[in-house]
Structure 1
Amino acid sequence: MKSSIELQATKGVVSTHNNPINQIKGIGMSEQNFATSSDTSPLVELTHWGVITASGVDAANFLHNQLSNDIVSLGEAQVHLAAFCNVKGRMQASMVAMRLNTHDIALVLHKDLLEKTLKRLSMFVMRAKCTLVDASDAYKVLGCVRSSNHLPAWQRHTMQVNGVSSSLFTWPASHKDQACVVLYPQHGASHAQAEGGTIAADAPALAAWHHAYVASGVTLVSEATFEAFVPQMLNYESVGGVNFKKGCYPGQEVVARSQFRGAIKRRAMLGELNAGETGGVPGAGDEVFANTAEAPDVFEACGVVASVATRDATTVLCFSGQSAAVQAATELRLACSEGSQGYAMQLIDVPYALLTDI
C-alpha cells in the first residue's frame, strides 16, 4: 500500500492528503483506531527536542538503573516517560524512552539539556556494554496534533513519512487535543531534498502542537527548570513517569520517601491568561504568585512555570505550584516584580486524575 504522506515543498511541512489509515499503523493495534485526515494536523519539526541513543547488550539494564521508570520491560508497542535525577531526587532531565530494537533505545528530550545529560549518563557507563551518542543528526523529531479520537498515552505506532518507516508515539491528551511525536530517520532527508523541499516548522501547526503539549499537563524538564523539581512536582507518578517497584536509581530514596510519607507539597497545575495582557512572552522558569483572602493585595511566590505555549491570543502554562497556597488564593498572577501586580491568571484543571494508590 503506497503512502500518501508527501513533502510539501511550497509550505515546508509534511501533510496528510488521504486517509491516514493508509499511512499509520499501530503496533499490535487495528488500523481502524486511527482517525481520518481531518483529525490530524500537518507534521512539523520540533527543533527544541533532540535524541540520545543507547546501544549495546547492556543498554536497557544501564538505563533501567539510571532512570525513574522501568526500561528493561519496555516493549515495542509503548514508550516510557522517565526522569533522570540527582542524588537529592531533583530532575536534571526528563525524557521519553523508546526501544528501537533489541539492543538500541532512543531517548527524546529537550535539546538544551542533551549535552549535559549525555555527559552525566556517560560517567556511569563504566564496564557496561552500552554506547551513548547524540543521535539528533540521525533523527528529526516531528510533531502533529489529533483533534479527536484520542488514543491512550505512551503508545507507539509505525508511520510512513516520505516512504521512510518512522515511529510515532502519543502524548497524554489535553481537554481538547492530543499531541503526537514522530521520530523520522534522517536517511529519509535525501528523498525529501530530491523533491525540492525540507521539513520545516509551520507557525500555526507548530503553535497548535505546543498548545496541546502544554495543555496536557505533562511536560519535560528544560534548561530553565534544571534541578527545580522532584518527579512528583510535575505529577510524574500519576502519568506513568515513575515506577516504584523497579529498584534503585539516583535519587530513588528521596522520590519514594516523598511519595509514601505524604511529603508532596507541590503539584503540576495549569493556568491560562490572555497573551495580549503580558506585554511579552512568559517562559519556563518564571514565577507564579498568589494572594490570600486575608491579604488580597499581597502576592507571594507559590510556583514555577515548567512550560508555556500561546495560541490564538491565549497563553497556557504548566507550572509546579504549592498546593496549599494555590488553594487558599483568591487570585493568581504571573511574574510579579517589586511594585508590579503582574498578570492575572486563571487556574484550569489538569486533564487527568492524580493517583492516590501507587
Structure 2
Amino acid sequence: MTLSWQSFLDNLGAHRNAQGYACYFSDQRSHFTSVNTIIGDHLAIITVRGPEAEKFLQGQLTCDVAQVTQGHMRLAMHLDLKGRGQYSYQVLPYLAGSGNGGFDLLTAKAHANGALAALKKYAVFSKVSLDIDDERVAIMLREPPADDLLDGLSVPPLIGQSQQGRQSTLVRLDQQWLLLLTPEGGARTLLNHYPLAEMGAANHWLEYEIHAGVGHIQPGTEGLWLPQALNYDLLDGVNFKKGCYLGQEVVARMHFKGKMKQRMQRLQWQGGVNASPGDVLRDSNDHAVGELVSAVEGDGGCDALVVLRLDHSGELTLNSQPLAWRQTNLPYALPSVS
C-alpha cells in the first residue's frame, strides 16, 4: 500500500520536505483556508484492538478514554514518570461497541515506531494488540462530497463527534473542517473529485493546527512539557477525575496545588528565522523563557505555537535570531497569570 499511495501523491505533484513527507501540491505559500482537502502524509495511525483496549489506554493516556468509546475524539499524551509528554495523539473510536472494536491513535509518522514500542512496553499483561496501520490514511475535508464517497458516513453535527462506517471514521473538527480516516483506495477516489489547486498537505495541516491552538509532541521535544504546558487541560486532553495513568501524580499535583508559569501561546514574527521544534526562546538577558512547539512560514512571515512564560514581555531571540514578534489570540482563553 505504501509505495502505491506515495506514487499516487507524487503523480498528483506532491512536493516533499526533508523527511520525505508531502508538504504541499500546487502552491507552497497557499493558506489552509484556500484549500478544501488536506492530506496528512506526515501522520501515522496506531491501532489498539482487543477486549481490554479501553482499560489499557485508560491507564496510559491523559484523556478519559471512556469518552472516546462514547464516540468522541480526544487529544491525549503518553507521559514519562515525571509527567512530561513523550508522545501525543488524537484518539478516535474504532467500531465502538463491537467485539472487534478498539481505538485509533493519530500521531506523527516520524516517531510512530517509538510511540508503538512505548505502548507495547506496558501491554504485556493486557488483552490488547497494537500495530501501525498501513492500509488507512488521514485526510482533512472542508467541503465533503456526496456520502457515497465517505464510506456511507453521515457528517457529524457536533464538534468532536465521530461517525464510523465499515472501514472509515469521520470526525467533526470545527464548524468547517472534518477529519477522515479511510483506506487508501477510498482516499484515491475521494481526492479525484478535487482540483489540484484545492489540495493541501502537511504544511497546511500544521497551519490549521496552529490556528486551532493544538500543539503536539514532535521528535526532539520529548520530555519537555507537562500536558498543561500545551494546554491539553483546556482542550479535554487531560482528565483529573479518572484513575491513575503513567505520570498522573505530577500532572495532578500541578493542577491542584501548583500554578503553571508558562503555557502554549500563538506568536507571529518575521520570515527567514531558522528553528526547529524544541528550540529555546530567550529574553534580552539570554535567559530561557520558552520553547518552540511548531511553526509554519507564509507570505506574511512566520506563524507559530510556543511554550512561553505567561509574564514575559519584551525582546525574544530564537537561536540567536532577534524576533520582531507579536502575540495572536488563541481560539480559547488561557488562565490568568494572577
TM-score range, shorter chain: 0.7 to 0.9
Name the SS of the counterpart of 2:137 in structure 1.
strand
Equivalent position to 2:112, from 103, 111, 114: 114
* Other-structure match for 1:221: 217
Moved over 3 A (4+): 7-13, 170-173, 189-193, 197-209
Give the Cα separation in 2 of the matches to 1:268 and 1:308: 13
1:238 is aligned to 2:234? yes
Equivalent position to 1:62, from 56, 67, 88: 56
1:134 is aligned to 2:132? yes
Rate the CA distance shift 1:199–1:131 in 2: closer, same or farther, 3 A. farther
Rate the CA distance shift 1:119–1:264 in 2: closer, same or farther, 3 A. same
The structure with higher relative contact order (CA 8 Å, sep 6+) is 2
Give the Cα separation in 2 of the matches to 1:305 and 1:334: 9
Rate the CA distance shift 1:288–1:8 in 2: closer, same or farther, 3 A. closer
* Other-structure match for 1:315: 302
Name the SS of the counterpart of 2:168 in structure 1.
strand
Letter in 2 for 1:223: P
Name the SS of the counterpart of 2:55 in structure 1.
helix
Which structure 2 residues correspond to residues 314-353 of structure 1 after superposition, within 5 A?
A: 314-324=301-311, 326=312, 329-336=313-320, 341-353=321-333
Unmatched runs of 5 consecutive residues or more in structure 2: 1-7, 15-32, 144-156
Give the Cα separation in 2 of the matches to 1:216 and 1:114: 23
Rate the CA distance shift 1:354–1:266 in 2: closer, same or farther, 3 A. same
Name the SS of the counterpart of 2:333 in structure 1.
coil
Give the Cα separation in 2 of the matches to 1:349 and 1:192: 34
Rate the CA distance shift 1:234–1:287 in 2: closer, same or farther, 3 A. same
Give the Cα separation in 2 of the matches to 1:179 and 1:283: 27
1:284 is aligned to 2:277? yes
**1:354 positional shift:** 3.1
Give the Cα separation in 2 of the matches to 1:284 and 1:201: 29
Rate the CA distance shift 1:200–1:302 in 2: closer, same or farther, 3 A. farther
Give the Cα separation in 2 of the matches to 1:199 and 1:287: 40
Give the Cα separation in 1 of the matches to 2:124 and 2:206: 38
**1:286 positional shift:** 1.9
**1:210 positional shift:** 2.2
Give the Cα separation in 2 of the matches to 1:306 and 1:133: 27
CA deviation digits over 1:83-115, x for unaligned, max 9? 100111001111011111132210001112211
Name the SS of the counterpart of 1:69 in structure 2.
coil
Aligned residues of 2:36 and 2:199 also touching (Cα < 8 A): no
Give the Cα separation in 2 of the matches to 1:131 and 1:166: 19
Name the SS of the counterpart of 1:223 in structure 2.
coil
Letter in 2 for 1:233: A
Which structure 2 residues correspond to residues 287-302 of structure 1 after superposition, within 5 A?
A: 287-291=280-284, 298-302=285-289
Aligned length: 294
Name the SS of the counterpart of 1:226 in structure 2.
coil
1:354 is aligned to 2:338? no
CA deviation digits over 1:278-336, x for unaligned, max 9? 2x4x3211222223xxxxxx343211111112233421111111223x1xx22333332
Rate the CA distance shift 1:127–1:300 in 2: closer, same or farther, 3 A. closer
Which structure 2 residues correspond to residues 150-189 of structure 1 after superposition, within 5 A?
A: 153-157=159-163, 166-171=168-173, 180-188=178-186
Letter in 1 for 2:295: V
Aligned residues of 1:41 and 1:205 also touching (Cα < 8 A): no
Give the Cα separation in 2 of the matches to 1:258 and 1:42: 40
Give the Cα separation in 2 of the matches to 1:203 and 1:335: 33
1:42 is aligned to 2:36? yes
TM-score normalised by L of structure 2:
0.76
What RMSD, in angstroms, separates the aligned Cα atoms of the two structures? Answer: 3.4
1:80 is aligned to 2:74? yes
**1:213 positional shift:** 1.1
CA deviation digits over 1:57-77, x for unaligned, max 9? 111111111111111232453
Rate the CA distance shift 1:192–1:157 in 2: closer, same or farther, 3 A. closer
TM-score normalised by L of structure 1:
0.72
* Other-structure match for 1:25: none
**1:80 positional shift:** 1.1
**1:8 positional shift:** 11
| The structure with more radius of gyration | 1
Give the Cα separation in 2 of the matches to 1:184 and 1:267: 34
Name the SS of the counterpart of 1:319 in structure 2.
strand
* Other-structure match for 1:19: none
Name the SS of the counterpart of 1:225 in structure 2.
coil
Give the Cα separation in 1 of the matches to 2:188 and 2:237: 36
Name the SS of the counterpart of 2:126 in structure 1.
coil
**1:153 positional shift:** 4.3
**1:252 positional shift:** 0.2
Rate the CA distance shift 1:83–1:186 in 2: closer, same or farther, 3 A. same
